[in-house]
Amino acid sequence: DRIKVEEALRDSEERFRSMIQSSSDMIFILDKDAIFTYESPSVSRILGYPEGFAIDRNPLDFVHPDDVETIGKELHEVFGSVNSGKPTEFRAKHAGGEWIYLDALGSNQFDNPAIRGVVLTVRNITGRKKYEKDILESRMMLRTVLDTIPARVFWKDRDLRFLGCNRAF
C-alpha cells in the first residue's frame, strides 16, 4: 500500500510539474514581504530574462512607473484577502527594454501549508492590446470619414433600431 501511495504521489507531482512547465501563463509565488520565491519556466519565455531572474525581487521592480500605484494597491488587497481574484492589467518591462501588457490574478494562499504565499497567475496580453488599439483607430478613422460626408448618413441594426449617424444627419 505504501509503494502504491508513493507512486501515486510521484505521478501527481510529475503531472503538476508538466502542467506548470508547459503553461503559457506565468506563475509566481510571493512571500509575506511581497518578494518572489517561485517563478514558472514560462517567465523566461515571456519576459526574456534568464530563468530565476525574478527570485528574491519585488514585483514592482518590473512594473511600468505609471502602473506602480495601481499594482501596489492591488497587491495590498490580495495580501489582506480583500481582493477576490479580480484581474489587473498593467505594463511590465521585457528584458529587451520594451514594455509589454500583462494581466495578473492574485490568490492569497497563506493558509495553504504547501504554498504559504500569494500565487500570481500572469498572462501576456500585448497582442490583444495591440488588436484593441487597431480597432479603436479604425473606428476613429471610419467616424472621421462618415462625419466629413455632406450627405446625411445613419445606420440601424436588424431590428431597425438606430445605432448612429454622421454629423450632417
Number of H helices, E strands in the chain: 4, 7
Q: Is-contact 103 122, C-beta < 8 A?
A: yes
- pLDDT score for 13: 83
Give the number of other Cβ atoms within 10 Å of residue 56's Cβ: 10
Which grid coordinates are listed for 135? 480597432
87/121 Cα distance (integer angstroms): 9
User: Which stretches within the chain are classed as H helix?
Assistant: 2-22, 42-47, 68-79, 126-148
Give, for all 169 residues of the chain, the pLDDT tens digit.
889 888 888 888 888 777 777 788 999 999 999 999 999 999 999 999 999 999 999 999 999 999 999 999 999 999 988 666 789 999 999 999 999 999 999 999 999 998 999 999 999 999 999 999 999 999 999 999 999 999 999 999 999 999 999 999 9
55/30 Cα distance (integer angstroms): 9
166: alpha, beta or left? (left if phi > 0; alpha if psi -120 to 50): beta
- pLDDT score for 133: 93
- pLDDT score for 88: 93
- pLDDT score for 84: 66
Query: CB-based contacts of 90: which residues, under 8 Å, 6+ apart?
Result: 63, 64, 67, 70, 71, 101, 102, 104
Q: What is the pTM of this model?
A: 0.78
* Proportion of the chain in helix, strand, coil states, percent, rounded to 5: 40, 25, 35
C-alpha distances in Å from residue 161, one per residue of 13, 136, 155, 156, 166: 57, 23, 8, 5, 16
